[in-house]
Amino acid sequence: MISLNTLSGLISAESVEKCVYAVENAGVFGDLVRRISRSAKLMLVCTGGQPHLATLVLLDLLCRQGCNIYYAGDFDPEGLRIAQNLKNRYGDALEFWHYEKEAFMQCISEVLLTQKRLKKLDKLEDEKLVLIGELIKLHGKVAYQENLIDWYMKDMGR
């Protein structure tokens, strides 16, 4: 974990391949780090749920250098709100990573949602997120990104 104090002295940050893979879940992050070759020139960031200010500062610095962010999170109301907030902040520099029906169906759980949590989906704006929100409402269940690790590895070319 990088602290805001550590970042305070930086004026820029760069990724060799001009892309950053960001995941919401710390467990998924750990699995990816363990599976990625040590010689890979990839940048992988974990938001640990709602991103801390230090994470946002790092992503801001990377975007200023022309990096694209590929973001993946859980398919639950809170996870989709995090994704929406990041999209609002980074615009076209942020792409949703496997936010499609096939991915949702690959990792759907048995966890049922309450009406209160489902209501949170009504605030989504991005078209891809709205479609995932509709799937969540249809099934009444969340889906967790742990079952997409092999998909992520394939995308990263590792």
- Per-residue pLDDT tens over the stretch 104-114: 999 999 999 99
| CA–CA dist 122, 114 (Å, integer) | 14
Cα angle vertex 29, ends 49, 85, to 5°?
30
Q: Residue 2: what are its φ and ψ, rounded to 5°?
A: -100, 140
Going by their DSSP bridges, the two strands 108-112 and 141-143 should be labelled as: antiparallel
What tokens were used for 110?
């048995």
> pLDDT tens-digit profile of 83-123?
999 999 999 999 999 999 999 999 999 999 999 999 999 99
- Quote the mean pLDDT of the chain: 92
> pLDDT tens-digit profile of 119-144?
999 999 999 999 999 999 999 999 99
CATH 3.20.20.140 fits 15-155, yes or no: no
pLDDT of 16: 76
pLDDT of 158: 52
